[in-house]
Structure 1
Amino acid sequence: MPFVLDQVMKRFIRQGALTVILPDGVERHYKGTRPGEKAAMHVRSAKALQALIVNSGLAFGEGYMNGEIEPVGCTLEQLLRVLMVNLQDTGHSFNRFEGAIRFVTRRLRQWNGARRSIRNVAHHYDLSGALYDLFLDQDRQYSCAYFTHADMTLDEAQIAKKRHIAAKLKLDRPGLEVLDIGSGWGGMALTLAKDYGARVLGITLSKEQLEVSRRRAREAGLEKQVQFELCDYRKVRSAFDRIVSVGMFEHVGVGNYDTFFRVVRDRLKPDGVALLHSIGRMDGPGSTNPWLSKYIFPGGYSPALSETLASIERSGLWLTDCEILRLHYAKTIAIWRERYAAAHDRVVAMYDERFYRMFDFYLTGAELSFRVQDHMNFQLQLTRSMTALPITRDYMFMDDMAGSGGPATVR
């Protein structure tokens, strides 16, 4: 087995250096031809070593969770950085055959029908809300924040994100009917109602999030203005002036993109506006890491713009604006990671050490996917009519700068 590892690693490490300590204590050193960071890891069992060679994408994360793979003389972030830089360099796979199989079978693994979508959402979003309170902002915005200034706090950046999205929705009069697809814990819907006078229907598949959202609406005195329902986006039948979806499109699945945008088109009024905010990838269609798919986001996938826009074109919708957010999510997750690490003992008390290591691995890998690999966020503004919005983008910037002025920003 060490011989096979040697052959693979010699081809894999092209940048920086990696030391692998085998179960018997023997050290293997691999150095790339280009300078880069150094890291070391100890593979503590023959089982973990074999799994790494057979299915590295799954086995590395599992090995770390189980304590069978440990960083040595470095942090998890430093170790993952060396590995992920080289993954990017060699085509996103420690084993090219492994990566090819994942891509070919991705539609099957992402076939998120109504029942499967409920199970997938429950796997992650129905965890204890107390866990998310440990690292998210006060509004529980579990998506990319928007840092207009380098020294912004997380709460300030999440407020700025909601304001930025509201500006693109052009909420230029009170009483607009808004559909929030994937409404999370209700923060976006409540903000649009309170600050912009919108009437909002938020839909989610998470029972935990639904309960919290409804309680928040009651506490804010917005029950008549905001409703939350346990509902699949494919089941909505009403028409809306505005549609917003933040951080939900990653759970739709490639095979359902045409359906998703057809629903957006059919549910928009003729002069309506939609805003889609999603994680994406800049280098074309790919596949989801198998560890992430098994332990964190079953059925999840970060889409390439090319496959997203192809479905938009088939839907008949106008793409009226596209913005790429590059490092905003890296900054967001860095703060989440810091807060999560500080809450180590509380997480272990809620769950156990293995769970803590699982979520730590997820957050660390997620941040690095934006810093050293191909991930980014995109915001797509969509309409049914080419005349639904002004012919210049000035209104976005003016409304964004004006803040949550709601109807006062009408132009």
Structure 2
Amino acid sequence: MSILRPFLSRVIRQGQLTVIAPDGSREVFGTPAAGFPDVTVRFASRKGMRRIVLDPRLGAAEAFMDGEMAIEQGDIMELIQLLRANTPWDRGSKLKDRGPVGEAMDWIKTRINSINRRSRSRANVAHHYDIGNDLYRLFLDADMQYSCAYWPREDMTLEEAQEAKKAHIAAKLALAPGQRVLDIGCGWGGMAITLAKLADVEVLGITLSEEQLALARERAAAAGVAGRVTFELIDYRDLAEREAGRFDRIVSVGMFEHVGAHNFDTFFRASANLMTAEGVMLLHTIGRFGRPGSTDAFTRKYIFPGGYIPALSETLAASEKSRLIVTDVETLRLHYAFTLRQWYARTLAHRDEIVAMMGDRFFRMWTFYLAGATAAFESGGMGNYQIQFARSRHALPLTRDYMAAAEAAYL
């Protein structure tokens, strides 16, 4: 009997997973079912199997990354989909690979790992974003939007969905010519450049990534908006001390996940202080459905050190302390799943270039990351929130009609 049987026999009920041990023996878990993949994995050593027994999530990732577990039928996306689909969050199921003590330890490690003082924040950003712009060009859209796209129609291209996302966000900012806009976590500059073009505003984009900063500046110059769009390598906390009350609008897309629960209050206090009395902010963030939780060990170690996905309750509670008014909340339930599947497909299509650039182990790690994230948004407890805040109840129109009108005009 495989040492994996106690775990897999509890989890795999629908769909089929065949496990081939190092000695060639086979065990089959689950039964074929419509909508569930059939996957076959082969272990090169018992060490790889033991790693999964000791820590199913991190162990499976590292066994796959190190070549101790190979997928002979299906791929890593289908393997993780099979596991997640058998334990869907919205049906009250759970991948039971942790007891109460293990969950408590994950909670503690997440909180310690995400304290994120200034020097640690910069190092964490460099770990993920300074690995080379060429990698990101291979799987992102042409504008290099590394965040959830917006899919009014499922048959859109990734480029169309990312353009729709920017228009959707711009509409919620209620922009007017001449406003000063701050983009916290500006990435490669696409959002800042788009806002300047759409609404004749001035934009300051800030980042902690040197790679992103250099390319964002190049792109602003190439787009002919360098006079109205500037970028700076600075922490939002330091900017708040220097630029209090200077911005009419703030946008932050895909950055709040890096703030860390310890700094939620600080982030909203800084944001409130940076805005004018009539200021408005649009926060686009990955969010956790249900109550607060913890970051898994694989993500903490390899992908986003210092990162933490917030529950909506945590986010809103922190904003209330700075007397920000929550003026609108939208939950994007499946939009990131669609986005991630596009990124995954493009990553596979550029396998040879990525392996030549980063190596086989990195490629396997990256596909594991994208596949795991996809499953989390399709059947796990993750989604996206767009939350609009204002300092004054008079800062925005009385109804939401202005959003739809502006969005239609921008597209």
TM-score (norm 1): 0.93
Q: Map 1:6-405 to 2 at 5 A.
A: 6-31=5-30, 36-88=36-88, 90-96=93-99, 97-171=101-175, 173-236=176-239, 237-238=242-243, 239-403=246-410
My pick for the range that moved more, 216-225 or 27-36, is 27-36
Cα displacement (A) at 1:395: 0.4
Distance 1:99 1:63 in 2: 22
Is the 8 Å Cα contact of residues 14 and 34 (structure 1) preserved in structure 2? no
My pick for the range that moved more, 38-47 or 184-193, is 38-47
Distance 1:174 1:311 in 2: 31
Cα displacement (A) at 1:43: 2.4
SS at the partner of 1:224? coil
SS at the partner of 1:212? helix
5+ unaligned residues in a row in structure 2: which ranges? none
Please list the CA deviations of residues 170-201 of structure 1 after superposition, one character each: whole Å capped at 9, or x if unmatched: 00x21100110000000111111122111111
The equivalent of 1:409 in structure 2 is none
C-alpha change, 1:85 and 1:7, in structure 2 (3 Å) is same
My pick for the range that moved more, 252-261 or 49-58, is 49-58
Alignment-mate amino acid for residue 222 of structure 1: V
Alignment-mate amino acid for residue 24 of structure 2: G
SS at the partner of 1:223? coil
5+ unaligned residues in a row in structure 1: which ranges? 405-411
C-alpha change, 1:17 and 1:104, in structure 2 (3 Å) is farther
Please list the CA deviations of residues 342-396 of structure 1 after superposition, one character each: whole Å capped at 9, or x if unmatched: 1111111112111111111111221221112121111000011111111110000
Please list the CA deviations of residues 8-53 of structure 1 after superposition, one character each: whole Å capped at 9, or x if unmatched: 3333334444332222223233338998544332222122122111
Cα displacement (A) at 1:119: 0.7
SS at the partner of 2:143? coil
Cα displacement (A) at 1:215: 1.2
Distance 2:103 2:340 in 1: 26
Cα displacement (A) at 1:99: 3.4
Distance 1:326 1:310 in 2: 21
Is the 8 Å Cα contact of residues 287 and 310 (structure 2) preserved in structure 1? yes
Moved over 6 A (4+): 32-35
Alignment-mate amino acid for residue 379 of structure 1: Q
Alignment-mate amino acid for residue 340 of structure 1: T
TM-score (norm 2): 0.93
SS at the partner of 1:271? strand
Distance 2:349 2:3 in 1: 39
RMSD of aligned alpha carbons: 1.9
Is the 8 Å Cα contact of residues 2 and 27 (structure 2) preserved in structure 1? no
Percentage identity across paired residues of the two chains: 49
My pick for the range that moved more, 349-358 or 117-126, is 349-358
